[in-house]
Amino acid sequence: MSQRPPAPPSLQDLRKEIDAIDEGMHRLLMQRGDIIDRLIQVKQTQEVGSAFRPAREASMMREIVQRHRGILPLDTVESIWRVIISTFTYVQAPFSVHADISVSEPAMRDSVRFHFGFTVPYVAHFSAQAAVEAVAKSKGDLALVSATSSRTPWWLELEAEGAPKIIARMPFVERADHPAALPVFAISRVADSALVTEVETFSVRVSGWNAEVARALSPLAEIVAVPDTAFDGAALLVSVTSESSIDKIRAALIEAGASVRSTALVGSHATRYTVPPTGPKS
């Protein structure tokens, strides 16, 4: 006589399993908080300012994507971790996010809330210049500005020694239909040991800038260009990967007929990490 297959678990049993997992996640978050509290005492973070660790954050987000599987949308997982990371960073050293809403206020607000949650204060500005100036005057705040367009060369404010720098490009994980897809640079003051330098960003001022010069440069780097009346040319924000170099950029500009007036390193960030259309493993 064949044995009957085991009865499927009841809804009550499954809900008990979920309740146990929920309690476990909550306890782990509280345990993480206890460790952060000890970290504050060891590092005395509140005395030294910024607690941002862009290199560590970029690495963590990539690892999350690589191990993710199952029916839970990646958007949800990423947003949960972003809130956890940002909130505990805020607990270590309170900061505000100053956002340039001149490009798109709804898109910028979505980006801030997705990446930093609702605990971190959100301060809107009507220009990138104003957002950067607010961070320069602060102890450890952060600014978000468009990474692909600008009306003014706000990056000139990052050239001086001791000025805040570009520390990240968000979203950390790019994919189609990302809920916070607006490409933005994050700007703050961060310890050199915490930076990721896979992509370096330079402020480059040139004369003789035109469409032909722009076409010559586009295969080598990502560029944001605005008119520079001081040199009757253009102020460029150039993002250079490890496959290129600022020397190659200079050479390409000169070969195309432009004159390079000045260059200055104004930050760095992780290489753009793109999820294939098929998504992570399932």
Q: pLDDT tens digits for 221-244?
A: 999 999 987 777 999 999 998 777
| pLDDT given at position 194 | 85
The neighbouring-strand residues paired with 145 are 185
Domain ranges, ordered by start, for the chain: 16-194, 200-269
* pLDDT of residue 47 exceeding 80: no
Angle at 84 between CA 78 and CA 86, to 5 degrees: 95
What lies within 8 Å, CB to CB, of 64 at 6+ separation is: 77, 78, 81
C-alpha to C-alpha distance for 30 and 235, rounded to whole angstroms: 48
Question: 16-35, pLDDT tens digit by residue?
Answer: 999 999 999 999 999 999 99
| pLDDT given at position 177 | 87
Q: What is the CATH number of domain 200-269?
A: 3.30.70.100
C-alpha to C-alpha distance for 199 and 222, rounded to whole angstroms: 10
Half-sphere exposure of 117 (CA within 13 A, CB side): 18
Q: What is the CA radius of gyration of the chain?
A: 22
Question: 252-280, pLDDT tens digit by residue?
Answer: 999 998 999 999 999 999 998 888 766 55
| pLDDT given at position 50 | 64
Which range is least confidently modeled, 40-49, 54-63, 185-194, 243-252? Answer: 40-49
Burial (Cβ within 10 Å: 0-12, 13-18, ≥19) of residue 86 = buried
Kindly report the pTM of this predicted structure: 0.89
Mean pLDDT across 173-177: 87
Strands 273-274 and 173-174: parallel
Mean pLDDT across 199-222: 91
| pLDDT given at position 2 | 65
Residue type, 131: A
To which residue do tokens 């006589």 refer?
A: 1
